[in-house]
Amino acid sequence: MLSIDNITKLKTLEHWFQNADWEDNVPWNRNEPLAFCGVTGSGKTAAVTKFCAAQSNRLYFSFRNLTADIAPTIFSSQHPEIFSSHRDNWSAFFSALKDHFAGKYHVLAFDDLDDRNDRDDFLKELADYMAGYDYRSPFVILPLRKHGFLTMPHYYSYLSSYMPADLRRSFPKMTDEDRMRLYSITGGLTGLLSLYDEGLPFNENLKDFCRRDSQFARYGSDILHEQFRSPESYSGILTAIASGKHRLSDIAAFAGYSNKKCGIYLQALCDAGFISTKKERSEDRRSTTRYYFDSGYMSLWARFLMTQQVESIADDMALCTQVNDYIDHTLVPDHFRRLCIRWFFNRRAKYEMHGHSFAEELHEHNNCGFDHIYGSGKKKCFLKIWTDLDGRYGAKEYQTLEERSVQINPFYHNEYFFFSVHRFKDALWAISKQYDNVHLVEARLLSC
């Protein structure tokens, strides 16, 4: 199996560490910890342990399977060179640490704190420990899923998932189409990507993923049990959303809950990061809230793996076909569109000039062939996103779209962005080189 190297995540920690070590003009308070945040499977622990291993004075501790009361005893017993005897409370624990390091710069990491409800004493003593340093305070890292529960002042950094451009470097032998498929079913999470065997074709990996006892299949169940005391209460709701029901009333009817009770469960799923909401207009033009999965993995898991009855989906040809169609025709298009829109908005300022803004979307030209049109005044921005995995696009498709766009706005007042999972034909690249307002973006180059 390929081991994903947490280069991006490691650089994030190195950035914070270097800033912490500056003598003057420190951009953050060295007496406050860094909450290093990311969902389960994002690579927090791997990045932190690798980072700690490179530091001379460092200690890594994990609260996994420990209560906060027993943790100082367990932690101190693992380091007899620091603790002459076991310390059974946090005040004694941190006092021994301070004596040991005696003003030396050091790194402390406390992992799996999310799982503790009895953490108040630990956080209080940690805050006092850090406040006791006037110079060269310790660099304290708290790997967390979320940082909202922290009562002490802190800084935070969120781990971003791997993008298609990152996967191109990690999986150089894969086709562009298979990389997009892999991104769509893993969400770019390190823990899921590391299960992929590049020595096998994508379809063979998918068969392995879809075994009932595979690590890939168990991940969804694990994080559901990690977040909720009664995960079975949410299975009907997740199945409803995966089946295409996105309104509260439809989800409640499918799951057998009242609208009020279903709304509470939906909010809990939103808070845990499983789903998100979108405001959409219904046919009668009323604005309604709809619920969608945040990740392709959860969508795939809830639809096919959560209640899986066969040992392997590969044993059922009809079901196997459904899975492949769902990936190619639902997950890939949906995730590719999201990536393209995010990519555009992260870079739109580069093309906004002379007071023209691309923030406002124009809906009156929805039938012109482009997926999105943004702009105000004379300047317009046209986006076309080709999501299918089979076609390559060139000059012919471009000419058709350009002719429609100039009926709306003159060519030289427009910026054109064309996105494709596939590589574009050479003829379209020639057009892009000829006109500086025609921009081509392929999936393999997407990094948001």
**What tokens were used for 444?**
């393999």
CATH architecture type of domain 341-445: 3-Layer(aba) Sandwich (3.40)
pLDDT above 80 for 229: yes
256 pLDDT exceeds 90?
yes
The pLDDT > 90 percentage for the chain reads 39
Residue 110 CB partners (closer than 8 Å, separation 6+): 61, 62, 63, 122, 126, 140, 141, 142
pLDDT value of residue 26: 43
| In contact, 366 and 382? CB cutoff 8 Å | no
| pLDDT tens-place string over residues 335-347 | 999 899 988 888 8
HSE at residue 154, side-chain half, CA atoms within 13 A, is 24
Tens of pLDDT, residues 397-426 = 999 999 999 999 999 989 999 999 888 999
More confident residue, 75 or 157: 75
User: By mean pLDDT, which of 168-177, 320-329, 430-439 is the weakest?
Assistant: 168-177
Tokens of 30: 């060295």
Neighbours of 120 (CB within 10 A): 11
Closest by Cα among 287, 300, 292 to 217: 300
**Which of left, alpha, beta for 316 (phi over 0: left; psi -120 to 50: alpha)?**
beta
173-211 pLDDT, tens digit each? 888 899 999 999 998 888 898 899 988 999 999 999 998
Cβ(395)–Cβ(431) below 8 Å = yes
Sign of CA dihedral 78, 37, 118, 136: positive
- Check the CA dihedral 66-70-73-76 and report its sign: positive
CA distance 431 to 439: 9
In this prediction, residue 25 carries a pLDDT of: 39
Percent of the chain predicted with pLDDT > 70: 88
Whether 377 has a pLDDT exceeding 60, the answer reads yes
Average pLDDT over residues 363-383: 82
CATH domain 164-334 topology: Arc Repressor Mutant, subunit A (1.10.10)
C-alpha 287, offset from chain centre: 28
Q: Kindly list the domain boundaries of the chain, sorted by start residue.
A: 7-158, 164-334, 341-445
Q: Report whether CATH 3.40.50.300 matches the domain 7-158.
A: yes
Q: Which residues contact 291 (CB under 8 A, 6 or more apart)?
A: 241, 246, 247, 248, 251, 266, 269, 270, 275, 276, 277
Report the distance separating Cα 112 and Cα 269, nearest Å. 21
Place of tokens 């690249």: 429
- pLDDT category, 378, cuts 50, 70, 90? confident
Q: What mean pLDDT value characterizes the chain?
A: 85
Question: What's the CA gap between 285 and 434, in Å, rounded?
Answer: 43
pLDDT band for position 22 (cuts 50, 70, 90): very low
Q: Identify which of 28, 12, 8, 9 has the alpha carbon closest to the alpha carbon of residue 20.
A: 28
Confidence of residue 16 (pLDDT cuts 50, 70, 90): low
The one-character DSSP state at 247 is: B
Which residue from 161, 135, 162 is spatially nearest to 38, judged by alpha carbons?
161
Half-sphere exposure of 412 (CA within 13 A, CB side): 1
| Per-residue model confidence (pLDDT) at position 327 | 94
- Report pLDDT for 95: 92
Predicted TM-score (pTM) of this structure: 0.79
